[in-house]
Amino acid sequence: MHRTLHGVMAVGIGIGLMALAHLSPSMSGYGTHQALGLPPCLLTALTGITCPSCGLTTSVVHCLHGEWLAALKANTVGPFLLIGILTIGGANLYGIVRPFAWGTVVATAWFHRVVVCAISALFLAWGLRGFW
């Protein structure tokens, strides 16, 4: 059962990354997700202020195209998000060979610390966005 779930997750991550790699990053620095049929950011549409996650898709697409400085400019957290996605994909590939339950990983203290750090970094980058 775990092998199947790991395989499905690994394939899903691979398909998602291939879809992102075929996108062209938005010139505005955010909004690339709209090419996938998703709506524009509601906060930006209503207030003109970008939200903490604005530019993440654009940043990841820049990374997949090898444009690291543009990725950091779109959203500083984007390259780290891609590293996290690749790590989870690799863990799922490993899980096909040596099955493990994601529930045990998610329940660990280090996982919670990583999530708190990632969310904190997202908001910190958002707060500093106007300075660079």
Question: How many independent structural domains does the chain possess?
Answer: 1
Q: What is the pLDDT of residue 8?
A: 93
| pTM of the entire predicted model | 0.84
Q: What is the mean pLDDT of the chain?
A: 89
Give me the phi and psi of 28, to 5 degrees please. -75, -15
| Closest-CA residue to 83 (of 100, 105, 64) | 64
Q: What is the pLDDT of residue 101?
A: 84
Q: What is the pLDDT of residues 76-119, one digit of tens each?
A: 999 999 999 999 999 999 989 988 887 777 778 888 888 898 89
Q: Is residue 132's pLDDT more than 70?
A: no
Segments forming the whole domain that contains residue 62: 2-131
CB–CB of 96/3 below 8 Å?
Answer: yes
